[in-house]
Structure 1
Amino acid sequence: MRLRHSAILTSTCLALWALTGCSAPPSDSEPAAERAETPASTAGDHEVLPPEQLADRLLTADDLGPGYTARPAATTTSPEASVEGCPQLEQLGSAADNPYAMFPNQGKRVFTGPGGTQLTEELYSAPPKDLSAGVGRIMTAMGACPSYHLVTPTTVAQVRTQTVPVPRSGDEQWGQVLTVTAGGRRTIVQQTVIRDGAVLLVVSGSPAEVAVHWHSALTKATNR
């Protein structure tokens, strides 16, 4: 199944970027990605935010500290990729090139940190029920297979998935670690996904980077 790089592959592409120079997506025997729920937000948290407000709530290099630089998310069309060995992920790709495209209100920023580490933050906004259903479907597909292959015009990568616990913040949380092997090299990327009312936060990068920065990203994203 052929599909364009999309938000569904953000974590994988981050790892491939580190290994082989894979471009980031435009706007980047294990169980399915973990999902947890906490009590619903107040009604005031359900306001759908326009893209300009989401952009204002993204972290900046100054928020992250010394040694970080921000670069704009890719705006050109990325090459196609082929997912092999995971029917659920293939079916999700056949339904839409970019599952997150159902949420037109979005913002994204990519950071390079000390030592060349990579961190990506994405924000989406939509009515809470729409966000919950959409991201639940995406994360279920991403975590459905313990391993699969991602084939680009220049690279064949093996991707292994593992569910990880996520702190109980917001209304719903998902966590996943991807181990990506390509060209004899391996890298590990963690993705933490949190829905808080009408805002969806996706933070991707090395486990250490995500652990350090997800909370400040959530705090700024929810304007608290």
Structure 2
Amino acid sequence: MRLRHSAILTSTCLALWALTGCSTPPSGSAPTAAQAETPVPTAGGHEVLPSERLADRLLAADDLDPGYAARPAATTASPEASVEGCPQLEQLGSAADNPYAMFPNQGKQVFTGPGRTELTEELYSAPPKDLSAGVGRIMTAMGACPSYQLVTATTVAEIRTQTVPVPRLGDEQWGQVLTVTASGRRTVVQQNVIRDGAVLLVVSGSPAEVTVHAQTALAKATAR
């Protein structure tokens, strides 16, 4: 399966970006995931939001800790990549380069943080039943293979996946940690996916950053 956006999922894109010359998060820490004892209420609803309203609800650098800055959007196309060793991901990617593209209302922001780490936030909006069914299919495919390869013209990355518990935020939650090894270097990236009503939040970065910032991102994304 050939893909145009480096990988089929944001967290793999982020990990591969880190390993191919931009930054490498500390590799000695094991992934962790905090859990809330009770769901945290938010102001999400069933109104489908257009992309321009989603853009207004994305985190800004001022919403984060000191040392974070928005990273300019890439001006060149990402290299093609192929996923090998995971038929479920291959089937998922056969319909579209980016599986989240099924939700046309969307917004995205990327931040660099202390130590040249990177944090990515994405927002999508669609009717709640469409979000739930679509994301369920995506996350099932992402968790189907404990390992696979991501191959570009210059890099072969070994991807190991682990489903992890996440804080009980919003209506539905999914969490996954990916350990990506390429060129003898390793990085760990966590992706938390939260649906609250008609809004879907995807936060990707180091496990510690995602744990700290996911609730802040959700609160802003679902504020009325």
Superposition TM-score, scaled by structure 2 size: 0.87
In 1, Cα distance between equivalents of 2:44 and 2:10: 30
Question: After alignment, is 76-85 or 49-58 more displaced?
Answer: 76-85
Report deviation, 1:42.
Answer: 10
Equivalent residue letter for 2:199: V
Question: After alignment, is 9-18 or 141-150 more displaced?
Answer: 9-18
Structure 1 partner of 2:62:
62
In 1, Cα distance between equivalents of 2:109 and 2:195: 18
In 2, Cα distance between equivalents of 1:144 and 1:127: 26
Report deviation, 1:8.
Answer: 3.4
Structure 2 partner of 1:216:
216
User: Would the aligned equivalents of 1:48 and 1:199 in 2 still touch at CA under 8 Å?
Assistant: yes
Q: Secondary structure at the match of 1:193?
A: strand
User: Would the aligned equivalents of 2:84 and 2:148 in 1 still touch at CA under 8 Å?
Assistant: yes
Equivalent residue letter for 2:87: P
Question: What does 1:1-224 align with in structure 2 at a 5 Å threshold?
Answer: 1-5=1-5, 8-21=8-21, 45-74=45-74, 76-223=76-223
In 1, Cα distance between equivalents of 2:146 and 2:51: 34
Equivalent residue letter for 2:189: V
User: Would the aligned equivalents of 2:43 and 2:222 in 1 still touch at CA under 8 Å?
Assistant: no
- The aligned length equals 208
User: Would the aligned equivalents of 2:67 and 2:114 in 1 still touch at CA under 8 Å?
Assistant: yes
Structure 2 partner of 1:30:
none
In 2, Cα distance between equivalents of 1:147 and 1:73: 30
Q: Percent identity?
A: 88
In 1, Cα distance between equivalents of 2:191 and 2:211: 10
Any gaps of 5 or more consecutive residues in structure 2? 23-37
Please give the root-mean-square deviation of Cα atoms over the aligned residues, in Å: 2.1
In 1, Cα distance between equivalents of 2:202 and 2:44: 22
Equivalent residue letter for 1:151: V
Question: After alignment, is 114-123 or 68-77 more displaced?
Answer: 68-77
Q: Secondary structure at the match of 2:8?
A: helix
Question: After alignment, is 155-164 or 96-105 more displaced?
Answer: 96-105
User: Would the aligned equivalents of 2:43 and 2:223 in 1 still touch at CA under 8 Å?
Assistant: no
User: Would the aligned equivalents of 2:189 and 2:205 in 1 still touch at CA under 8 Å?
Assistant: yes
Report deviation, 1:75.
Answer: 6.0
Superposition TM-score, scaled by structure 1 size: 0.87
Any gaps of 5 or more consecutive residues in structure 1? 23-37
Q: Secondary structure at the match of 2:94?
A: helix
Query: Structure 1 pair 91/150, CA: closer, same or farther in 2 (3 Å)?
Result: same
Query: Structure 1 pair 7/164, CA: closer, same or farther in 2 (3 Å)?
Result: same
Query: Structure 1 pair 42/207, CA: closer, same or farther in 2 (3 Å)?
Result: closer
Question: Cα deviations across residues 38-97 of structure 1 (Å, max 9, x unaligned)?
Answer: 99x999700000111101110011100211110244365322110000000011111222
Q: Secondary structure at the match of 1:8?
A: coil
